[in-house]
Amino acid sequence: MHRRSLVRALAAAPLSAPALLAAPRRAGAQAGGAYPSRPVRIIVPFPAGGATDTWARLVAEGMQPELGQPIVIENRGGGGGLIGTDVAAKAPPDGYTLLYNITTHVQAPVVLRRFPYDPVRDFAFIGRLGTTAITFCVGPAVPDSVATLADFVAWGRGRPLAFGNYAQGSTGHAFALLLAREAGLNVTHVAYRGEAPMLQDLLAGQFHGGFHSTVTAGEMMRAGRIRPLATGGPDRVPSLADRVPTLLELGYSRRFGFSGFNGLFAPARVPQAVLDRLVPAFRKVATSPETIRRLRAMDTIPGYEDPETFRASVERALREWQEMAEALDLYSTA
């Protein structure tokens, strides 16, 4: 009886073995193609409420249905963006930790002479969303009679002034230094951990002026609580174009023509299968009519770039900022 059972089992083996072997292969394929199987984290290296945070949340909102998992924003401010960016660079390269960053990605390491991460080699590039100009604004610490940049310079010369910046080594920091130098102003520069806390102190009259984006400060500009006087970058801000000139138009140096980027990164060595999910999802969001409409409504110029083009843009920005830091001696400023 036992012998007959053994024979029946052996006879059945050729049929059952392939089926048993096929099951793990199917499971393996599903596991390999299942990314993401849990929530994805996007690190924003600045506090909540600033422009970087706003763009990241717009992107996360659009990518969630594409990826089929929640996307959680984690704000890791400090060090001019270095702290959060370093955390992202050293995260496991599995696609579950991403980074949304702006031009400080390359600026802060250059200015602070600290490279805890390599801005190019330590990251995989998902895509660029666009860019935005920043505008020099003054707050209630400046008299209401100051209506133009020329007014401000005339009023400010000979006074001890204070300018805020949203991160040491940022475009706003360099532009504030440039403006003080070229206008002949005596300025103390105050660094913040992001644009939102800087805006709160400007509104409170804690310092005289600084460069802000309309993404964060546009409502305060429209309400008249802060006054936009001049814009950095090559073009006027669309919503302010009828009344706020660029610094280039006002005769300030070509260095004010610098414009940056904002976009999505992943740690280097992320598997290609993961990138094959992230890149199309980001591209669909970045190029959708609804995203473009929302970006323009916040004075962000849409400018999607694919991973290779985005990488080249970051490399170019790094070279330009190294030249800017050398020319302005940004290294010695606090």
For the chain, the C-alpha Rg in angstroms (whole number) is: 25
Would you write out the chain's pLDDT as a tens digit for each of its 334 residues? 443 443 343 334 333 333 323 333 333 333 345 899 999 999 999 999 989 999 999 999 999 999 999 999 999 998 889 999 999 999 999 999 999 999 999 998 998 888 999 999 999 999 999 998 899 999 999 999 999 999 999 999 999 999 999 887 788 988 999 999 999 999 999 989 889 999 999 999 999 999 999 989 999 999 999 999 999 999 899 899 999 999 999 999 999 999 889 999 999 999 999 999 999 999 999 999 999 999 999 999 999 999 999 999 999 999 999 998 888 777 754 4
Which helix (H) or strand (E) element contains residue 309?
helix 307-328
pLDDT at 221: 95
User: Which residues sit opposite 164 in a β-bridge?
Assistant: 190, 210
Q: How far apart, in whole angstroms, are the C-alpha atoms of residue 269 and residue 255?
A: 35
Give alpha helix (H) positions in 213-271: 214-222
Cα distance from N-terminal residue to C-terminal residue, the chain: 90
pLDDT at 193: 84
pLDDT at 33: 57
pLDDT at 112: 86
Enter the pTM of the model: 0.79
Q: Which domains does the chain have, with CATH numbers?
A: 40-131+259-332 (3.40.190.150), 134-257 (3.40.190.10)
Q: How far apart, in whole angstroms, are the C-alpha atoms of residue 4 and residue 264?
A: 65
Burial 107-137 (b: 16+ CB within 10 A, else e): bbbbbbeeebbebeebbbbbbbbbbbbbbbb
